[in-house]
Chain A
Amino acid sequence: MPRRRDLQSILVVGSGPIVIGQACEFDYSGTQACRVLVEEGYRVVLVNSNPATIMTDPATADRTYVEPLDPDVVAAIIERERPDAVLPTLGGQTALNLTMTLAERGVLDALGVEVIGARPEAIATAEDRERFKAAMGEIGLEVPASRFAHSVDEAMAIGAESGYPVIVRPSYILGGSGAGVADDPAALRRLAGVGLAASPISEVLVERSIVGWKEYELEVMRDRADNCVVVCSIENLDPMGVHTGDSITVAPAQTLSDVEYQAMRDDAFACMRRVGVETGGSNVQFAVDPADGRRMIIEMNPRVSRSSALASKATGFPIAKIAARLAVGYELPEIANDITRATPASFEPTIDYVVTKVPRFAFEKLVGAEPTLGPRMQSVGEVMAIGRTFCESLQKAMRSMEQGRHGLNADPAESGLAGWSRAELLERLAVPTPERIFEVEAALRAGAGTDEVAAASGIDPWFLTQIARITGARGELEAHRAAHPEDPLGTLGPADWRVVKRLGFADAQLAYLLGTDEAAVRAARVAAGVLPTFKTVDTCGAEFAADTPYHYSTYEDEEEVRPSARQRVIILGSGPNRIGQGIEFDYCCVHASTALRAAGYETVMVNCNPETVSTDYDTSDRLYFEPLSAEDVLNVVEAEVRASRDGGQVTGVVVSLGGQTPLKLAAALGDDLVLGTPAGSIDLAEDRERWNQLCHRLGIAQPPGGTATTVEEALAVARTVGFPVLVRPSYVLGGRAMEIVYDEEGMRRVMVSVAAGMVREGGVSRERPVLVDRFLEDAIEVDVDSARDRDGEVLIAGVMEHVEEAGVHSGDSACALPPQSLRAATVAVIEAHTRAIAEALGVVGLLNVQYAVKDGTVYVLEANPRASRTVPFVAKATGLALAQVAARLLVGETLASLRAAGELGPRRSVGHVSVKEAVLPFDRFPGVDTLLGPEMRSTGEVMGVDTTFGLAFAKSQMAAGTPLPREGTVFLSLADRDKPAGLEVARRLAALGFSLAATKGTAELLKADGLEVAIEVAKVGEDGSGPHAPELIAAEGVQLVVNTPRGRGPRADGRYIRQAALAHRVPCLTTLAAARAAVAGTADSERPRLEVRSLQDLHSPPSPARALAGSLRRWRIRIRRRLRPRRFPPSAGTPFLDKRHVRPGPAPSAPDVAALR
């Protein structure tokens, strides 16, 4: 059946900010879906609060709403746009939940909106644990048995029924403490007794434990004619017990016989049919007992998932695109296979390579978090690698991680495992950690058998025998070196080279093993004639000719890169998502590809992140799924040079749009290849001494500071410039290991930790010193994104004022565009400085500069001649496609020519304020302090847009998932230095009708000012009349916490308050600046309605017709009072002023933001 003609307009719901467990894979899937639906002629309305997405580009949908993913807001959008249907299955759990809420509230029925993709009934069956278990029982599929018990006898009965081992989990115990595994009835009796006593409601969950079973996933698709296919099977290297998102996974399944695989396939289809997913993709997870093959179904996602993105990239089968087509009525055989073009989508891809996905973690940034993996996902990103064998793909994945590793050990970083004995290593293997895979190899090398390692780790022996091949080859190389100490490289024959390269060894690993350097290895290898060949991902194992140049490297006979007679630009992506380098950079790379394709170039993308839009085979003319290491990138460049025909050539390589990752490769590529800002300027901006000289020459003030390689040097600098100082390593993104230091003792501590953190980069040295700068307290931080062309014209694209003061990492701070408190003269100084720096650095392309403004003086903090995290935000806020402009400048076009061609678009839309807010992962890491500081810890961002700063800020908070309360109690606990300013916040809160709670010192201050303190809170360990803070928060007696760190030394003070707020999901502001932004600005609070606006409305000059339509459709939403007071949508009535705008003194009776500026 062709597409449905009864639908005209479809609402696509995005997944919101990047958080752990829900990352940019949903930008990939949502973008695919929007494009398909637009192509099919539907009017597509999109809502997503995340500005750093391709899907929220105004060109992706007909109407784009960057608005909070909140039921009321989406209801307003539906009311305004009147779509015929909503497609919720491509926006992750967020979109699914939101749609279910709208369905339950009757909004969809009332407005006649059909849910397509998956019916609410099917979603409920898959999502509700009990319903799912019952449904699977009906069709004879086994699920791990679990029931609640309220007595020891009951628990014993459940244990007898389910079989052992069982997990016992006491109910209502925070953080899962008190849980345990019982291997036999005696242990269950004991654990149940303890657990029942620990649980406040005397209840324990007794569940059959399948920890250690093998884990599999099948990606399945179904159309409305009931045609079902498996797109991909995935096997987890880490057995059950580690969340699949945190597991190393491999496609296709490796250790299932066909008999077992086909039975699993039957189960997956039966599950999808019973749950009732009529069209689209689903993901079904299984556990298999390695001892007897017994199979259980773990869960089913009735939507496109992270695994679907992986499966799409692993096979070339575009699940999201096809799911979108199926949702509007197509059947699988009616859809062509994009890759072969000759065959239909109703088949099961087969692959002739092995795909390995490895998760990337950020424990080093989350002090206090235990780096142990378990059932709760903690990874922040992932890489995927393709090789012809598992060994090759695993080693490629390891060097794709960009954590200083060149493969599976055999590199300098393996020294961390050097001291461990075989027995110690085997003991460590029992605990899954991010390092376990390296320990596996080390244990095998230390002489452990694969059976011993399998027993210790639960990893299937198949993977271990493969890893043992890597270990074996390493041993042979070491023996070879010992036998040929004079010339280990020259004595390797072509067959030897081929063996080790086919096992995935990087040249850098071979250099390490053979005692030479990488360049020498490369030269010897090339001399031996052993060069990589690039194969194609084609969905069909080469059975049919592929139309799509989607390549990976391996060492085989034949290369498949197609000749090209065109000018090609190679764009280097940003690698795995991590804190500090996320989707924003992928956005920039995708835009570069789009812009350069439009300008007539053939674009070549290199990246290794399966979650992204950049690794969609449609994004660029050619895609290389490769690690972003110098060796692998040079291989791509050489392959493209080899493929040049008839005047076609490689114009150059874009290194400045993918964050720090490609920038680091600039030197290896050389200035002839690097497009835009030369490598020397990149160095200049990073080299402290030269940068200082440059600023001095330009007459731009800097916070005084210096560099140090030892504690003594650092102390000397600090004594000269005065404490507090900001201490950070050079050459890092995302402020890793950056700290504010207040005294000498702190300096000694920090210098040690900074040095430890730089071990992988080779430690602290003259080349890579530690930077020590005077920390400007209470300064306003400003970010500028600009672009310069080869003729020297500079475009100031956006000036952003941070909400949090300097000292909070810019990535974790909220910011506003345009700036809200800076005077025009200050902005002019900032713009002039930016132009001067761009000129002095000889920037061609993007330049981001960070400033601190204190007492009217503008200090420059740093300059980065590359894309910044804020480029997509600036684009969404101003309507200027900055990354596209930058890409055109990189290939030599000028701003003047782009302007003449009308490609600079609308600038500086007036009449609205945009606020970017960071989204933090603390709910996943209960042990981590939530206090914001110079170390970046946010995983994603949201954007709020409205007519005033207050409204936009409130929307951003709502979008970030911590909507500010409209009434109730605010608990203040302030550092002494914040008390004077905090008083002002308290006054305004009281005026807004909030009641106040405060710790003793703060309360005294408030009372002295005549404010009423409803609850005086005792500090922990302090006898007082009132309740302790955690108790008060736990009892839901507080709707907002304002806790600023006490003193300037130990920042841990007040931590228990922040922990309690986190645990009970009470919004907690840790800087006074944020509190001011949040609490001030009641000017608009009388406005009873919240407006939503599409980007198209904001940026396009209103045509008369559109203006008329707009005025006819003045739609607004009524603010619904929420059941829970702290969940009030703040944007309704609590837009807040930034306190910085308010001079000390009585609060203005009628707050007026403009008047205060």
Chain B
Amino acid sequence: MLRRPEALLVLNDATVFAGEAAGVLPELGIATGELVFNTALSGYQEVVTDPSYAGQVIAFTYPHVGNYGTNPDDDEARRPFCAGVVVRDLVATGSNWRSRRGFEDFLVDNGVPAITGIDTRRLTRHVREAGALPCAMGIAGAEAVAAAARSAPSTTGRDLVSQVTIERPTTRPGGPRRVVVFDFGVKETMLRHLSGLATLTVVPASTPADEVLAMEPDGVFLSNGPGDPAPLTGPVTAIAGLLGKVPIFGICLGHQLLGLAAGGTTYKLLFGHHGTNHPVRRLATGTVEITSQNHNYALEAGSVPGASVTHVNLNDGVVEGIALEGAGAFSVQYHPEAAPGPHDARYLFERFERLMASGVPRRGR
């Protein structure tokens, strides 16, 4: 019977999953990365093109992936940065009026390797116990793939941001204010929301504080991005130099970096949060937001001097938002721009606008 080439997915702890190769065939027949699972039911194109997945292999828990094809409007970055895609059933031909290209063609065109036919539920159950492990996948034979898995890198301690950030500043016209966006791997939908408020200057992750201040922005936005915040000492120093001088809003990695800049510490979650159904309590009102999330690292609760916790994950108590009231800065771990995901937290962009309108308290800029 007609089938794709057999392929294997092997985790760093030697657990083996059999499937079939899809997408692009990786160089030397093997792709490596840190395996994470995403529980969203829709939004695979946004997930695959989210630069925060740089260095990671994404396993989708929903079995059919590719149902509605792909279209240029749903790209979150200029190209995917993820290391691979694992699915139970890759749907080659999608059906939707917005679709321009099938998902598999999209993967091939963008050089993303994939494996299909995997028992992704078994994989998820394994990862939820063993954690986000390095893995290898490919058609190079069981021993070669297993060897690659043993030496596959995790994200811990690596600077993955430098792989995804832009090389030089660009501007994007928009609303009346001026906002500098630190591109740690920024998603297109964030820029779309921010440009409703301000003209944006998107700067590389390595931009120092004085260069930013020289642009005289009304606010600074710290974007999402891939991997571990701990090695990103440059951005942390820059943010520390901006704190208290200009209103700051951070999302995801930007949230972690703000926390680090303010003196906090971060840690790695066992398998992270990757999905669009995470309940977060907004402590100011007590209401619950259903949020889109994608992170493996988090701020240690209570580690940030002078910060108040504003949002908490109801599943596991992870700090989801902080405010440095005195410094005119706030951030959230989850994704209020929500692409993919629910729109429950879009008010945070309005809050950023209000913060820019009132400016940084006390010291001013």
Residues of A that sit less than 8 Å from B by CB: 225-227, 229, 233, 252-262, 265-266, 290-293, 332-333, 342-344, 346-354, 388-390, 460-462, 465, 473, 476, 480, 495-496, 499, 535, 540-545, 556-558, 560
Contacts and interface: CB of A to CB of B under 8 A. Distances in A.
Which of B41, B276, B277 has the most C-beta atoms of chain A within 10 angstroms of its own C-beta? B41
B95 A465 contact: yes
A333 B278 CA distance: 12
A252 B67 CA distance: 12
Given A495-B3, A499-B3, A461 B95 contact: yes
Nearest to B42: A258
B119 interface: yes
Given A347-B315, A556-B121, A253 B277 contact: no
Given A255-B96, A480-B1, A543 B39 contact: yes
A293 B39 contact: no
B61 A352 contact: yes
A542 B277 contact: no
Contacts of B62: 252, 350-352, 541
Given A262-B341, A496-B1, A535-B121, A255 B67 contact: yes
A215 to B, nearest CB: 15
A542 B128 contact: yes
Contacts of A332: 288
Nearest to A500: B1
A544 B342 contact: no
Given A290-B97, A346-B288, A347-B279, A541 B61 contact: yes
A502 to B, nearest CB: 8
Nearest to A463: B95
Contacts of A476: 1-2
Which of A542, A544, A557 has the most C-beta atoms of chain B within 10 angstroms of its own C-beta? A542
Contacts of B91: 462, 465
B96 A540 contact: no
Interface stretch (B25-33, B68-76, B259-267): B68-76
B1 A347 contact: no
A229 B46 CA distance: 22
Contacts of B18: 557
Contacts of A540: 39
A291 B96 CA distance: 8
A262 B343 contact: yes
A390 B64 contact: yes
Interface of B: 1-3, 17-18, 37, 39-43, 45-46, 61-64, 67-68, 71, 73-74, 88-89, 91, 93-98, 119-122, 124-125, 128, 275-279, 281, 286-288, 290, 314-315, 338-343
B139 to A, nearest CB: 15
B277 A347 contact: yes
Contacts of B74: 257-259
Nearest to B20: A495
A416 B147 CA distance: 56
Nearest to A291: B97
Contacts of B340: 258, 262
A262 B3 contact: no
A462 B39 contact: no
A255 B119 contact: no
28 contacts: A225-B287, A256-B96, A257-B74, A257-B96, A261-B42, A333-B314, A346-B288, A347-B279, A349-B277, A350-B62, A350-B276, A350-B277, A351-B62, A352-B120, A352-B124, A353-B63, A389-B88, A462-B67, A462-B95, A465-B93, A480-B1, A541-B37, A541-B39, A541-B61, A542-B61, A544-B128, A556-B119, A558-B119
A332 B94 CA distance: 36
A262 B119 contact: no
B290 A347 contact: yes
Contacts of A225: 286-287
Contact of A558 (B68, B125, B276, B290): B125
Contacts of A265: 342-343
A543 B132 CA distance: 12
Given A346-B288, A352-B63, A556-B121, A258 B46 contact: yes
10 smallest beta-carbon distances between A and B, as pairs: A258-B43, A258-B340, A541-B61, A462-B95, A558-B122, A557-B119, A542-B124, A348-B277, A556-B119, A258-B42
Contacts of A348: 276-277, 290, 342
A461 B288 CA distance: 37
Given A332-B288, A333-B314, A480-B1, A252 B41 contact: yes
B64 A499 contact: no
Contacts of B96: 255-257, 260
Contact of B124 (A233, A257, A543): A543
Nearest to A227: B288
Which of B122, B276, B281, B340 has the most C-beta atoms of chain A within 10 angstroms of its own C-beta? B122
A348 B279 CA distance: 8
Nearest to A226: B287
A108 to B, nearest CB: 31
Contact of B73 (A259, A343, A351): A259
Contacts of A333: 279, 281, 288, 314
Nearest to B278: A347
Nearest to B95: A462
A354 B63 contact: yes
A462 B278 CA distance: 29
B305 to A, nearest CB: 29
Contacts of A346: 279, 288, 290, 314
Contacts of B121: 352, 388, 535, 541-542, 556, 558
Contacts of B278: 347
A348 to B, nearest CB: 4
Nearest to B275: A350
B88 to A, nearest CB: 6
Given A258-B340, A344-B314, A542-B128, A351 B275 contact: no
Contacts of B275: 350, 541, 543
A543 B126 CA distance: 10
A134 to B, nearest CB: 25
Contacts of B40: 258, 350
Nearest to B277: A348
A257 B71 contact: yes
A505 to B, nearest CB: 12
Which of A256, A258, A265, A541 has the most C-beta atoms of chain B within 10 angstroms of its own C-beta? A258
B290 A229 contact: yes
Nearest to B18: A557
A974 to B, nearest CB: 61
A253 B42 contact: yes
B1 A499 contact: yes
Nearest to A387: B63
A292 B63 CA distance: 27
A536 to B, nearest CB: 8
A343 B1 CA distance: 44
Nearest to B338: A262
Given A332-B288, A465-B95, A256 B64 contact: no
B89 A343 contact: no
Given A257-B71, A347-B314, A388 B39 contact: no
A693 B91 CA distance: 61
Nearest to A556: B119
Nearest to B315: A343
Nearest to B62: A352
Contacts of B122: 556-558
Given A344-B315, A348-B277, 6 more contacts: A225-B286, A259-B73, A262-B338, A461-B95, A557-B18, A558-B122
A342 to B, nearest CB: 8
Contact of A462 (B89, B94, B128): B94
Nearest to B273: A543
B13 to A, nearest CB: 16
A483 B62 CA distance: 37
Nearest to B271: A543
A90 B119 CA distance: 38
B127 to A, nearest CB: 9
Contacts of A256: 42, 68, 96
Contacts of A545: 128
